[in-house]
Structure 1
Amino acid sequence: MTDSAPFRAFTSAAPMPYPPNIGLPEYTGWKDEQWAWKNTVYIGDWSFVPQIRITGPDALRLLSDLSINSFANFPIGKAKHCVQCDENGNVITEGILIRHGEEDFELECGVPQWTLFHLETGDYDAKASFPSTHKLQVSGPKALPLMEKLTGASLRDVKFMNSKYATIAGRGVMLLRQGMAGEIGFELHGPMEGHDEVYAAVVEAGQEFGIRRLGWRWIQLNHLESWYPTASVHYLSALAGGTNREYVEFMDKHLPDEWVGTVMEGPLRYDFGATFTGSWDGPDIEGLHRNPVELGWTKSINFDHDFIGRSALEALVAQPRRVGVTLEFNSDDLIAIYSSMFSDGPVYHLFEIPHPPFASNWADKILVDGREVGQSTHPGYSYTYRKALAISFIDVEYSEPGTEVKVLWGNPGEPQTEIRATVARKPYKQDERRKDLSLSGAS
């Protein structure tokens, strides 16, 4: 166990900022940008996400040994959401795994060095490299016609989590059909030197379709409404705390050459960030680790192979203790928090709109009759629904939609209050990612 106190943001550690290469906080205003996400199209830049490329005869065996996913059916050109855990079944890292060839795989995730560690310390005939590529997300109801205009090609045959190659601004790009915002979307991959040209071409062509640029001031709102929990924001990697000394010592000596002189040379060489704030005051940082069952990824767990954490996950799948839900905060209670700043009496921690401006984990206690039954994380305000929401993890017996709970609001040592909250649907927004693009009206 690792003492959680040194990881508390603002008092013991600096909160983790959003990477500067994500862009500006806002471009046309966060309300306008949120509107476009569901009504037209937006472009977001996720090129900061690190990646590892594994090639060789044992590349697939390595990934299978580390991942909860099945690889029984994984054709070239397809991608999957890949999840890797520790022996306790808690998530170390997750991200998108793309198969480029029979022995060629690319994993984009917060901690690709976990794969490197096992490659170099295990018996695998494979090699690793760390390319730097742009990853531009183009998503929304108008994403399909925009991308077809831009590429001059039909994309209606591209199924969810499949890819297609095209040319944009004279640059070759791989279009990976995704939809992290719960809408039809494509992620544009290519060498980093083409980043600016491809980005500019998308923005220019997108004017006809009402394109907006994604500012980081609301970057987590689409994850929140679409219920896609994110490491360092909604939970911490199981590597947080540095208890895996063998791994830490390995990374001290084996920083990839491609990362020298980058942000990955600092603390990020170990994991993607480990600071937190909120009313949760558990003594051990491990209390902020999460397993795939809690994170809503049970369907990805496949016991057709051996992998790290398998036995722990078999028990969790058979009898889960906590599951993920959306919490909907009581609006009157939030108004009272703002009112406290302009009246006599205690002043409560500010509920920042549209969401906290840091990429640090947020963890508040969820209470029922004064007893802790879960954690509410990184809250945000949805301009679409005019509600404050939070991805949350709660004991199974309180997970039914409509269940009323309370969230303890305010850091330890500060004035605290309770916010009434209701368990709501998950995802909160209807999922449109998997639409059949061949159908008329899909655009």
Structure 2
Amino acid sequence: MSSESLAAALARAGSPVELLRNLSFPPSTFPVQPEFTNWRSEQRAWVETCALLDQSHHMTDLFLEGPDALRLLSDVGVNSFAGFGVGKAKQFVAVNPDGHLMGDAILFHLEEELFDLVGHPMVLDWVTFNLERGDYAVTAERDDNSAVRASGPPRLYRYELQGPTAAALMEAVTGAPLPDVKFFHMAEFSIAGRRVRGLRHGMAGQPGFELFGPWEDGDTILDALLTAGADHGLVRVGAKAYSTANLESGWVPAPLPALFSDDPLMQEYREWLPAAKVGSIGGSHDSADIGDYYLTPYDIGYGKTIRFDHDFIGRAALERLAEAPKRQKVTLVWNADDVTAAVGSLYRPGPGAKYIEMPKARYATHHEDAVLVDGRPVGISLDCGYLANARVMASLATLDAEYAAPGTEVTVVWGEHPVSAKPAVEPHEQVQIRATVAPVPFVDFARENYRTG
């Protein structure tokens, strides 16, 4: 990894937008097998039977241990930590001093003074920075994902089971009735003679458990799950299908962290943060002001996570934002004819539309497409892909409240102008794709309104 700091890279590029739009960094990758069967059937598994997703390799773990670990997390996170005891988990959300999103991750309270923050590196870096500059009796151990880990396997295996038969499969593999586990609470199980921790969870709006334990036990647990799963329709899910699960559940992956504020704390952070850890921006959303790319927690549905019962970085700014008009997170269902025309343009003399990858169409680390009504910007489309269960191209978006009602017609601008220097971006022309607003999460709405059998 280059030792150049983000501050130095910014000074060289002259503009945050110019720096990030032309970086060669790709979208986040899932370093597991792309497909075990085919991604269409694998998507269907979490709706009809049970899907097994291997989360061991693409997430980063930050283990925080010590008497001040909870204080550190409370100082950085917008969440309330009242009653956050051992055996619980939550979606940890952090903002910068101006109230703009730095990122989110899943926080596990494993033992009295031991926590595991699991997710994309953006928010883990922010927590680490604040640990190092603060006065906390905390030790940190980081286990990077398998795409960048220097050597060796992960510290933990993680297997996600989700779908209608997940509960029955768990009873079969553990040989015992399922305990009454609340959502985002943990329980302990015995599988093949091994102690396994399980988080009550679901990544695509379906019932599920995230099972984890020491890496050395991973193969034994996997074999037991596959054997028991044969009677419950278990399907292994590869990276392609897994990358789309968030579109059904409504989670926005890898929003752009708000790194470029003039606040002194952010200036210090840019000196600390290696430029190689900063991702690219892509999409048709085009502004010379990097602030126009930032999101607040309210924009993507994290308002209910914010609690003003403690002091944290960005609290005063979020209290002001809480009184301001807010955008709302929605699903956009793209018009089939317009998507077909964009794809079809690749088979005629070009340049045609920007290539639409299947099943996930994001081509930068942080994707932002302009959303228009009557030619006026009304929001941003953030993550897009194909959902085989509903047979639609869809995206997650944040829109001005007056345009966020289901059924509202909007337009997504697909492709860049001017075309950036990212290697994944070929010469192309921008196209406009009609879209219809649908609820978040989309999975229940799709089952009732789009599903074709």
Question: Is the shorter-chain TM-score for this pair beyond 0.5, marking a shared fold?
Answer: yes
Quick check: 1:240–1:274 contact (8 Å CA) kept in 2?
Answer: no
- Kindly state the Cα deviation for residue 292 of structure 1 after the two structures are TM-superposed: 1.0
Quick check: 1:226–1:430 contact (8 Å CA) kept in 2?
Answer: no
Quick check: 1:241–1:285 contact (8 Å CA) kept in 2?
Answer: no
Q: Does 1:237 align with 2:257?
A: yes
Q: Does 1:426 align with 2:440?
A: yes
Residue of structure 2 aligned with 1:40, choices 46, 49, 56: 49
Distance 1:134 1:241 in 2: 37
- Please name the residue that 1:119 is paired with: 131
Q: Does 1:15 align with 2:26?
A: yes
Q: Does 1:318 align with 2:318?
A: no
- 1:102-181 equivalent positions in 2, closer than 5 A: 102-111=112-121, 112-130=124-142, 132-181=155-204
Distance 2:48 2:165 in 1: 8
Quick check: 2:166–2:207 contact (8 Å CA) kept in 1?
Answer: yes
- Kindly state the Cα deviation for residue 209 of structure 1 after the two structures are TM-superposed: 1.0
Letter in 1 for 2:366: N
- Kindly state the Cα deviation for residue 229 of structure 1 after the two structures are TM-superposed: 0.8
Quick check: 2:335–2:435 contact (8 Å CA) kept in 1?
Answer: yes
- Please name the residue that 2:7 is paired with: none
Letter in 1 for 2:126: W
Q: Does 1:282 align with 2:287?
A: yes
Quick check: 1:169–1:201 contact (8 Å CA) kept in 2?
Answer: yes
Distance 2:256 2:273 in 1: 19
SS at match of 1:430: helix
Quick check: 1:402–1:422 contact (8 Å CA) kept in 2?
Answer: yes
Letter in 1 for 2:415: G
Distance 2:347 2:94 in 1: 47
- Please name the residue that 1:206 is paired with: 229
- Kindly state the Cα deviation for residue 327 of structure 1 after the two structures are TM-superposed: 0.8
Deviations 1:106-133 (A, max 9, x none): 2213232322222222122232233622
Quick check: 1:98–1:105 contact (8 Å CA) kept in 2?
Answer: yes
Distance 1:241 1:201 in 2: 50
- Please name the residue that 1:262 is paired with: none
Distance 1:267 1:191 in 2: 30
- The TM-score, its normalising length taken from structure 2, stands at 0.83
Distance 2:260 2:361 in 1: 21
- Please name the residue that 1:6 is paired with: 19
- Kindly state the Cα deviation for residue 63 of structure 1 after the two structures are TM-superposed: 1.1
- 1:296-315 equivalent positions in 2, closer than 5 A: 296-315=301-320
SS at match of 1:320: coil
Quick check: 1:217–1:357 contact (8 Å CA) kept in 2?
Answer: no
SS at match of 1:25: coil
SS at match of 2:16: coil
Distance 1:133 1:178 in 2: 18
Quick check: 1:242–1:248 contact (8 Å CA) kept in 2?
Answer: no
Q: Given the superposition, is the C-alpha separation of residues 27 and 366 from structure 1 closer, same or farther in structure 2, using an over 3 Å criterion? A: same
Q: Given the superposition, is the C-alpha separation of residues 80 and 340 from structure 1 closer, same or farther in structure 2, using an over 3 Å criterion? A: same
- 1:359-378 equivalent positions in 2, closer than 5 A: 360-378=365-383
Letter in 2 for 1:373: V
Residue of structure 1 aligned with 2:238, choices 198, 205, 215: 215
Distance 1:378 1:202 in 2: 31
Residue of structure 2 aligned with 1:49, choices 47, 55, 59: 59
- Kindly state the Cα deviation for residue 346 of structure 1 after the two structures are TM-superposed: 5.0
Number of residue equivalences: 407
Distance 2:324 2:262 in 1: 29
Quick check: 1:17–1:358 contact (8 Å CA) kept in 2?
Answer: no
Letter in 2 for 1:337: A
Give unmatched runs, 5+ long, in structure 1.
Answer: 253-265, 432-443
Letter in 2 for 1:366: V
Quick check: 2:378–2:400 contact (8 Å CA) kept in 1?
Answer: yes
Deviations 1:349-396 (A, max 9, x none): 222222227562222111122122211122111111121110011122
SS at match of 1:92: strand
SS at match of 2:411: strand
SS at match of 1:246: helix
SS at match of 1:293: helix
Q: Given the superposition, is the C-alpha separation of residues 338 and 110 from structure 1 closer, same or farther in structure 2, using an over 3 Å criterion? A: closer
Deviations 1:388-431 (A, max 9, x none): 11001112221122211111122214312211111111111129
Distance 1:155 1:135 in 2: 19
Q: Given the superposition, is the C-alpha separation of residues 158 and 17 from structure 1 closer, same or farther in structure 2, using an over 3 Å criterion? A: closer
SS at match of 1:209: coil
Q: Does 1:327 align with 2:341?
A: no
Q: Given the superposition, is the C-alpha separation of residues 54 and 346 from structure 1 closer, same or farther in structure 2, using an over 3 Å criterion? A: closer
Distance 1:416 1:118 in 2: 41
Quick check: 2:371–2:410 contact (8 Å CA) kept in 1?
Answer: yes
Q: Given the superposition, is the C-alpha separation of residues 344 and 46 from structure 1 closer, same or farther in structure 2, using an over 3 Å criterion? A: same
Deviations 1:54-107 (A, max 9, x none): 222222111111111111121221111111111121222311112223322222
Deviations 1:279-332 (A, max 9, x none): 122224443332210110111110111111111211222223422111111111
SS at match of 2:309: coil
Instruction: Return 165-174 or 297-306, whichever deviates more.
Output: 165-174
Give unmatched runs, 5+ long, in structure 2.
Answer: 1-9, 144-154, 419-427, 446-453
- Please name the residue that 1:339 is paired with: 344
Quick check: 1:17–1:357 contact (8 Å CA) kept in 2?
Answer: no
Instruction: Return 66-75 or 337-346, whichever deviates more.
Output: 337-346
- The TM-score, its normalising length taken from structure 1, stands at 0.85
Instruction: Return 27-36 or 240-249, whichever deviates more.
Output: 240-249
Q: Does 1:193 align with 2:216?
A: yes
Distance 1:106 1:14 in 2: 27
- 1:69-108 equivalent positions in 2, closer than 5 A: 69-108=79-118
Distance 2:443 2:184 in 1: 20
Distance 1:320 1:134 in 2: 42
Instruction: Return 52-61 or 241-250, whichever deviates more.
Output: 241-250
Q: Structure 1 residue runs of 4+, over 6 Å off?
A: 240-243
Distance 1:403 1:54 in 2: 45
